[in-house]
Amino acid sequence: MVYIPSATYRLQVSSKFTLQQVREIIPYLHELGISTVYSAPLFCSRPGSEHGYDVTAPYDINPEVGTKQELKQISEELKSRGMGWLQDIVPNHMAYHPANVWLMDVLEKGPQSHFYTFFDIDFHHPDFSGQVMVPFLGDSLEEVMKQNQLKLSFSEKGFHLNYYESAYPVSVASYRALLEQAQQESGEPEVSTQTQQALKELQTLESEDSLTPAAWDNFKKKLAGKPQLRQALEQATESINNDNTKLQALLGQQHYILCHWQETETRINFRRFFTVNDLICLRMELPEVFDQYHQFIRQLCEQGLLQGLRVDHVDGLFDPITYLKRLRKLAGPESYIVVEKILEGEEQLPERWPIEGNSGYDFLAWVSNLYTSGAGRRKLTQIYSRLVPNAPTNYEQLVFDKKMFILKNQMQGELSNLLRLLQERHLIPLEPEEEWRKALAVLLCAWPVYCIYGNRLPLSKDEMAVVDKAFEEAHKQAPELQERFRQLHHLFTLQPGDTEQTTHDKLYFVMRSQQFTGPLAAKGVEDTTFYNYNRLISLNEVGNSPDIFHLDDEAFHERMLYRQRVYPHSINATATHDTKRGEGARIRLNVLSEMPEEWETRVQEWLEISRKYTTKPTTNDLYFLFQTLIGVLPLSGEADESIVERLQEYLQKALREAKVKTDWSEPNEPYEQAVKDLVRQLLLEDEGFMESFRPFFHKVAHYGWLYALCQPLLKVTCPGVPDIYQSTELWDLSLVDPDNRRPVDYNLRLEYLHELKQQEQQKGSESLHQQLLQNPDDAKVKLYLLYKALNKRRELQPLFDAGDYIPLQVQGVHKHRIVAFARRHQHQWAVVVVPLRLASLISKEELPLGQHIWEDTTVTLPEGAPAQWQQVFGGETVSANGNLSIADALNTFPVAFLTATTV
């Protein structure tokens, strides 16, 4: 039987939060109601890594994080409590860093390296003469050498080329010339004898098809272990360092070419993660790469230390379907496997994958859109156009334009490689090249989803629907290229006369192209468009789209029914390490869709105040700033130095991601500083701004925290496995990383939890509810909700794992302000009720409780439902003979979770 978590808790393990610290919080997580620790990658990674996705050695645990022994101890502790471990793994890429032993072996040995084919490197690229780019120089190679920033060194680890802290191994083929130079410059008989002996050994090693690390390391140690020869080699090293001609000759003998980091924007001969040079991709489609990369993961699964795996960036893989089949076989039928997958619009996860689901971005989007008012869409669009001159009005066109911007400015090399692939395999003519280049670029930018997964031709009906939609958009964007598009379309289909080789080449192009449509979407949309289209920035979220805006309750129920039918154990996330803003900030900002007119009035005031200080920021950036302030401030509305500093760091990142007035490659520091200064002036120095800001903020924040209770309850009770991102059991008003990876105070959370349990026992639930709801600032009310809901879910896990999802009809005057559903499995029942659109129902001082608010509103229960129900939040009994009164369900608490059992 597959291991299914009751609830996961995501931890960002790193040198700042180690396995030892994980072990210390297990009792707290268990008490909270968590069944499964969900860990960020913990394998050896780039020194100082705070996230673990820059893996350097997948065959061991990062010593900065802990040891395998500590993981075993944690596993024993978890199992004693009926808990498990879900491990994030990174099969798409590794760190392009000297600590990556496999990659350094390739740089040193070239074709003699066992790992020569492991990395996605094109050694046949016409621009690089069999060398792979090492794009980490801060200037051109010529300038770096002129400044004497590149040095050759020798030690028992052999020869290395050093650039500041980075050291790259010198090729095996270089050793002959270096030994001969040392002998020539020394003139010592002993050196000559030792050199000849070394050259003889070297000749044997050079003749090997595959040079083992042990044999080569032993050779290097022997060179360094002979004092006279070592001295001669060090002298030769010094001589080369003093002669750029000699150094240049040495560089020409390497399996790599050192170059400026920006060179990859125009040409590149390795696949990288998105546009990140220091993450190099793997050829995971090769069985030998899969087997070696997953050897340690297999061991951890077989030893029972891991109960599940979360696959990072499955879209980056050449053949995701085959990969997942192999992973399922490796991990075993009992392992819980989910993939990180961003779904666009109406896109669904392929139904036949041998996994339990995805990492939850889709659920995050659905809940966010449920809490965005459909009536506010047109108004907010008009307000954005009125207040922001030249505001982008056509979102889809903006997405296409920003993808094209990324392709032209950062991914020209990837485009050229795909074009050359087509030409070399005679899939398109060589001329007119520029027309073909443009047609291919437009097609890639027109792709409506991250990628398709077809690994055979003909493609499936659903896959061809995506292809046809892409070509339809491409025609619209560049009608003059109609004939080129017609010919490109043939590459995705079988044509009469296609040979076996042609079919093979077509399929290779189709699958290869999909490894670039994903990065293009991520960089063009998430990391560019989302910082430009500022109508309502809470919708600019990983897995979501401003184009969706709103889901009504019927559409939400449809998605839950589909989820229950197809992937009932997919993760339900509302915050992750990748989200643009915290779950509390996001749902608070959604309240703006319920009060657009008042928002417009306030923004006009704030724009005038801001212009007193500076005219540099664009109105679009100010519009972004004001929304960010609404989202990030605590419920008190008070700002301090720490909030100002967090905002300043975040805004610098956001402005650079927007790539309008400043960017990462050419920062416009005066512009950035003007925005940073403005934040300080508005929050800490201008009383007039805060007098205007605070009343509106308090109103928005009031509805926001009520919705921030609805969100986690839906997460816990809807089909799927709820995930709590670290720290979010309290209010989550964080911003994008690194802000959302700040240290978490678990002592405080444990103290709060014990206090809540004690108070409920001493005062009773009604008194506790009153206290929590009157004092929401400390977020104990959210912790209370999660503690009660998670523990009840764990107690009734079969109900939530296998139970039906039943949308419930709502009647009465406020029927459009309630979402309700039932879960049913055998004799066990649960009903969940959450309110919507409160801004026009209650004042900013009111709570949505009781008869005077909900009047005659009722939920119609399914036939055969029990008549007596227990409130999870409080334990009171609620009677419901066919109809459940909302006033009774929401009498002392603003959301309801009711359970019952039939005989």
pLDDT (tens digit per residue) in 130-170: 999 999 999 999 999 999 999 999 999 999 999 999 999 99
Q: For residues 336-340, give the mean pLDDT.
A: 98
**Is 660 in a helix, a strand, or coil?**
coil
625: exposed, middle or buried (C-beta count within 10 Å: 0-12, 13-18, 19+)? buried
Q: For residues 774-783, give the mean pLDDT.
A: 98
Q: Predicted confidence band at 881 (pLDDT cuts at 50, 70, 90)?
A: confident
Residue 332 predicted with pLDDT over 90: yes
Q: Predicted confidence band at 185 (pLDDT cuts at 50, 70, 90)?
A: confident
Structure confidence by residue, pLDDT tens digits, 424-442: 999 999 999 999 999 999 9
Q: Predicted confidence band at 786 (pLDDT cuts at 50, 70, 90)?
A: very high
Q: Residue 799's pLDDT is what?
A: 98
Question: What value does the mean pLDDT of the chain take?
Answer: 96
Q: Predicted confidence band at 44 (pLDDT cuts at 50, 70, 90)?
A: very high
**Is 73 in a helix, a strand, or coil?**
helix
Percent of the chain with pLDDT over 70: 100
**Is 636 in a helix, a strand, or coil?**
coil
Structure confidence by residue, pLDDT tens digits, 288-297: 999 999 999 9
Q: For residues 1-21, give the mean pLDDT.
A: 97
- Helices then strands, each counted (H, E), the chain: 33, 27
Tokens at 396, concatenated = 């889809």
Main-chain dihedrals φ then ψ at residue 584, nearest 5 degrees: -75, -40
Q: Residue 505's pLDDT is what?
A: 98
- Within 10 A of 225 (CB to CB), how many other CB atoms are there? 10
Residue 903 predicted with pLDDT over 80: no
Q: Predicted confidence band at 393 (pLDDT cuts at 50, 70, 90)?
A: confident
- Got the DSSP string for 185-229? HH--HHHHHHHHHHHHHHHHHHT-SS--HHHHHHHHHHHHTSHHH
Query: Edge-to-edge, what's the strand order for the sheet holding 36-39?
Result: 357-358, 336-339, 308-311, 84-89, 36-39, 8-11, 721-725, 571-572
The C-alpha atoms of residue 488 and residue 509 are separated, in whole angstroms, by 11
Main-chain dihedrals φ then ψ at residue 814, nearest 5 degrees: -115, 35
The C-alpha atoms of residue 683 and residue 628 are separated, in whole angstroms, by 12
- Got the DSSP string for 234-301? HHHHHHHHT-HHHHHHHHTTSSEEEEEGGGGGT--SB-EETTEEEEEEB-TTSHHHHHHHTHHHHHHH
Q: Residue 671's pLDDT is what?
A: 98
Least confident of 118-122, 179-183, 255-259, 869-873: 179-183
Structure confidence by residue, pLDDT tens digits, 296-320: 999 999 999 999 999 999 999 999 9
Q: Residue 520's pLDDT is what?
A: 96
Give the gyration radius of the chain's Cα atoms.
Answer: 30
The C-alpha atoms of residue 680 and residue 649 are separated, in whole angstroms, by 12
Structure confidence by residue, pLDDT tens digits, 685-728: 999 999 999 999 999 999 999 999 999 999 999 999 999 999 99
What does the H/E/C string look like for 104-121?
HHHHHHHHHCCCCCCECE
Which conformational region is residue 853 in: left (phi greater than 0), alpha (psi within -120 to 50 degrees), or beta?
alpha
Structure confidence by residue, pLDDT tens digits, 495-550: 999 999 999 999 999 999 999 999 999 999 999 999 999 999 999 999 999 999 99
User: 862: which residues sit within 8 A by CB, 6+ positions away?
Assistant: 806, 808, 822, 824
Q: Residue 346's pLDDT is what?
A: 84
Chain position carrying tokens 């600032």: 777
- Within 10 A of 840 (CB to CB), how many other CB atoms are there? 10
Structure confidence by residue, pLDDT tens digits, 456-469: 999 999 999 999 99
Q: For residues 809-829, give the mean pLDDT.
A: 97
Q: Residue 380's pLDDT is what?
A: 97
Structure confidence by residue, pLDDT tens digits, 716-760: 999 999 999 999 999 999 999 999 999 999 999 999 999 999 999
Structural contact between residues 399 and 444, judged by C-beta atoms closer than 8 angstroms? no
Q: Predicted confidence band at 670 (pLDDT cuts at 50, 70, 90)?
A: very high
Structure confidence by residue, pLDDT tens digits, 17-30: 999 999 999 999 99
Q: For residues 247-276, give the mean pLDDT.
A: 97
Residue 187 predicted with pLDDT over 90: no
Q: Residue 345's pLDDT is what?
A: 82
